[in-house]
Amino acid sequence: MPMDGLPHYASGPVIKGFGRGSKQLGIPTANYPEDIVDSLPQMLNTGVYYGWANVDGGQVYKMVMSIGWNPFYKNTKKSMETHILHTFPSDFYGSLLRVCILGYIRPEKDFKSLDDLIAAIKSDIVFADEALEQNEMLQHKKDQFFQTNNVED
């Protein structure tokens, strides 16, 4: 179902996040700096989204993104945390991350336990993986946005 403000494109350097994705959850995320988060359109609600992403102009992969304050962790700063459905050999802090946000999965919410949070994220990943196989979603994988090789400051 189409949502106002989508697709939304974002591009910027990967910064160190809260250090929880890989360590506590086993689900590594790439985080954007505050200025990228602050430039999100007001119409994009907090929650979990899906779309496409690439790092330093490389291959385009499926992704799931959490936008918001992560109620389970009671964050005080809004964040954009991208989990790319690909295993990278190492961290890529400082690399240029491009994302195309295409769809909304669910609102953010609190969880009773870390296991419940992990189960929800894994469910989000399955949802995104399947949704991105639709023809109207696959066409965005070849978007010119991902093809440009100019590295932004």
- The gap between the terminal CA atoms of the chain, to the nearest Å, is 34
130 has catalytic annotation: no
32/77 Cα distance (integer angstroms): 12
The active-site residue, picked from 81, 108, 133, 152, is 81
Quick one: which of 89, 28, 85 has its CA closest to 62? 85
User: Active-site positions?
Assistant: 81
